[in-house]
Chain A
Amino acid sequence: MKLEYAPLQRDLAGVGYIADDSLAMALSLAVGLQRPLLLEGEAGVGKTDVGKALAKVLDTRLIRLQCYEGLDANATIYEWNYQRQLLAIRAHERDAMPSDQIERHIFSEDYLLRRPLLEAISQTKPPVLLIDEIDRADEEFEAFLLEILSDFQITVPELGTIAAKSTPHVILTSNGTRALSDALRRRCLYSYLDFPDERKELAIVHARLPGIDRRLAEQVVRFVQLLRREALEKKPGIAETLDWARALVGLDVRSIDGDPVTIQASLACLLKTEADLKAVPREVTARIVGKVA
């Protein structure tokens, strides 16, 4: 088999996701080798969208697990439906069903609530499993995830071991708020997503906002590219670029060297903290606009 990433790159572009060579290669390998892919990068470089786009390309389900601090097995694998179980116990009690039979009954798959991980391994067609912001979950969860990612089977004490019907395409994303364990890194293929360069970002803007004026799109992208070089607390991501471009189109701005007041006000789309807004006063905006236009 030839390991070509160009076809996947084209398919991704077809669903509106512009991937550079390394990302396309990483995804091809992840799919080809059935290995989890760990994506790292700043917030706003489009890590989450990779999962969505891949699901579209493969025409399969996207199962997303958003991680947060304190996430545990109950919230990620399965939970028993307690309300139904209680009702069932009462109902069967009246039928004078022996207790061991009730037990067997209420711990059957009917009463099982599937959470993302169990859901992902019980699909016949391999879904895309997006484990988002794994760095937000605790280390304990990471260790436990590792076990699932290596065996793709889950043990429910009351039911026994459930093996995967198919191996899901796993994508993990991390913003780097915590150092991930080496074990997890070694399980996964790795790719680092950087802020897109000018050409790529322009392609993204055109892919997402097909109607946008060519010149305005170029100006927007150049402006954001230069803005990222300023000392900002939170650099604007791709989503911010798109928001801003949309806002400018909505405000009927033809060129960003037009009305400075409008432009300055619209920067709220790009700069999301007070400190950053203060760090880019009108003079700075004017300087960057001067370079762009």
Chain B
Amino acid sequence: MAAGTPPPAGAAARMSGFMAHLRRNGFAVGPGETELVLSTLAANEFPNADAARLGLKTMLSGSREQWARFDDLFDAYWFERGLRTVERLGQSTATRSHRPRPDIWDKVLPADEQAEAQGRTDRAPGIGQGDGEKTSGRLVASAGDALMRTDLRTLVTPDEMAEAERTAERLARAIRYRLSRRRLPSRRGEIIDLRRTIRRSISHGGEPVELRRKHRPERPVKLVVLLDVSGSMKVYSRYFLSFVRGLIGTWLRADAFLFHTRLVRVADVLRESDANIAMAKLSLLVEGFGGGTRIATSLKAFNDRYAKETLGSRSVAIVISDGYDTDPPEALAVELQRVKRRAYRLIWLNPLLGWKDYAPVARAMAVALQYVDCFAPAHSLESLAALEDEFARL
């Protein structure tokens, strides 16, 4: 690449090997990028290896993470393990379309990615959600059902559990649907659309007879869910995972995180169209955690890394946790305040709140209450259904 460049054909092969190397490491580089690099190299010459590194880094990385990793990947390919990678060049086309994922997932996942097949049609309100079930705006109608009032802990049989999961998911979809409707355009806008009004007025001799109007459509809120999957929440985990999955579903403006002693982003996994696959992937993620609950630490991780890009003036943050925290309550207060400052609303769902005679005496919970806009029970499907009104008011 530097002075003493190998013959063009070899250079091209080496370069596409480098591309494959980057792809294997999660870079989204395709033929377009390869062509850009090759044509740049054909027309120009980098004075030294360092300049080449900087040039390629600029052309091929696309985010801060990739920017930070590029130098190591570059050195690994061109200076240390170069030959070995070239030998593997033949395989590069086969690996191209695969998203990098831990090997362990291969046991639970089919070879082909399902993300592509996922429908994006939910944007049009009123269209069935694809699971064949009727997703009406309100599902509370079935609230009389005994199952709805049972504390989720007491559900035992697989059938009941499956039913509970389905209902949770339906409820979540109903909430989302309710919110999405707000984006329907109103017929009468407040602002006069001058551009089209003037166009129209020409045939009336410049008299603006027909007023054309426009409006600024309301946008759906963005949901960010933080779900506690620690030991004390274990009995509820499956339901809440389904609940969160329903919320995230195919709604693009949503993000989800699980926490325990640390925090993991799971929105992509939850968007998996097959529930079983998603659950299998999630259980793998959950099992990786240690014991205890560190809410404040997890929230801190969220605030430091993700809050800036996920929370905005239209975001609603939902924390689902029983509030048993091994971190000091003061730390939780600080972190909740930080979340509150960025998000539009902060909701805390607590399964314990549904218990008879429960008072939020856990110290962390008592502290948290000061910063929470809405503190609601979430111990039964009925209580989740009741949330619909709360959400609609947002």
Check B309 against A177 for contact (C-beta < 8 Å).
yes
The answer to whether B194 has its CB under 8 Å from any CB of chain A is yes
Q: Cβ of A287 < 8 Å from any Cβ of B?
A: no
Which of the candidate stretches B12-20, B83-91, B197-205 sits at the interface with the other chain?
A: B197-205
Q: Closest Cβ of chain B: how far from A124's Cβ, in Å?
A: 25
On chain A, the residues within 8 Å of B201 by CB distance are 86, 89
Please, what's the 1-or-0 string for A208-246, where 1 marks a CB less than 8 Å from any CB in chain B?
000000000000000000000000000000000000000
CA distance A33 to B58 in the complex (A): 12
**The stretch of B39-47, B179-187, B318-326, B384-392 that contacts the partner chain:** B39-47
Q: Mark B37-69, 1 if CB is under 8 A from A, else 0.
A: 000100111110011001101110111101110
SS class, residues of chain B in contact with chain A? helix
Q: Is B32 an interface residue (CB 8 A)?
A: yes
Q: Which residues on B sit within 8 Å (CB–CB) of A95?
A: none
A253 contacts chain B at the CB level, 8 A cutoff: no
- What's the tally of chain A residues with a CB closer than 8 Å to chain B? 42
In the complex, B206 has a CB within 8 A of chain A:
yes
Whether A123 sits at the interface, judged by CB under 8 Å, is no
Whether a CB of chain A sits under 8 angstroms from the CB of B312 is yes
Whether B205 lies near A29 (C-beta < 8 A) is no
Question: Is the pair B309, A176 in contact by a Cβ cutoff of 8 Å?
Answer: yes
- State A220–B57 Cα separation when bound (angstroms): 32
B57 partner residues in chain A, CB cutoff 8 A: 22
Q: Does B139 contact A (CB under 8 A)?
A: no
Chain B CB within 8 A of A141 CB:
no
Verify A80–B198 contact, CB threshold 8 A: yes
Asked if A264 is an interface residue, CB under 8 A from chain B, the answer is: no
B61 touches A3 (CB 8 A): no
Docked CA distance A40–B332 (Å): 31
Q: Which of A21, A37, A89 has its CB near the most chain B CB atoms (within 10 A)?
A: A89
Whether the pair B62, A4 counts as a contact (CB closer than 8 A) is no
A190 in contact with B67 (CB, 8 Å): yes
A-B pairs under 8 A by CB, number: 104
Give the Cβ gap from B223 to chain A, nearest Cβ, in Å. Answer: 15
Q: Contact between A93 and B206 (Cβ–Cβ < 8 Å)?
A: yes
* A5/B51 contact (C-beta < 8 A), A103-B202, A176-B309, A186-B32 known: yes
In angstroms, Cα B28 to Cα A189, docked, is 13
Q: Per a CB cutoff under 8 Å, which of B55, B64, B198 touches A82?
A: B198
Q: Among residues 170 to 185 in chain A, which have CB atoms less than 8 Å away from a CB atom of chain B? A: 176-179, 182, 185
B32 surroundings in chain A (CB, below 8 A): 186
Residue B373 interfacial (CB < 8 Å): no
**Cross-chain contact A189 with B58 (CB below 8 angstroms):** yes
Output the nearest chain A residue to B195 by Cβ-Cβ distance. Answer: A80
A233's nearest neighbour on chain B, judged by CB, is B338
Residues from chain B with a CB closer than 8 A to the CB of A37 are 58
- Is A166 an interface position by the 8 A CB rule? no
A179 to chain B, nearest CB (A): 5
Q: Which of A2, A106, A190 contacts B62 (CB 8 A)?
A: A190
Partner of B206, one of A22, A86, A188: A86
Nearest 7 A/B pairs, CB to CB: A89-B206, A185-B62, A25-B54, A192-B67, A26-B58, A3-B44, A82-B194
A interface vs B, CB < 8 Å?
Answer: 1-5, 21-22, 25-26, 29-30, 32-33, 37-38, 40, 70, 74, 79-80, 82, 85-86, 89-90, 93, 99, 102-103, 106, 176-179, 182, 185-186, 188-192
Q: Besides A106-B198, A191-B67, 6 other CB < 8 A contacts?
A: A22-B54, A29-B55, A33-B40, A99-B203, A177-B312, A191-B58
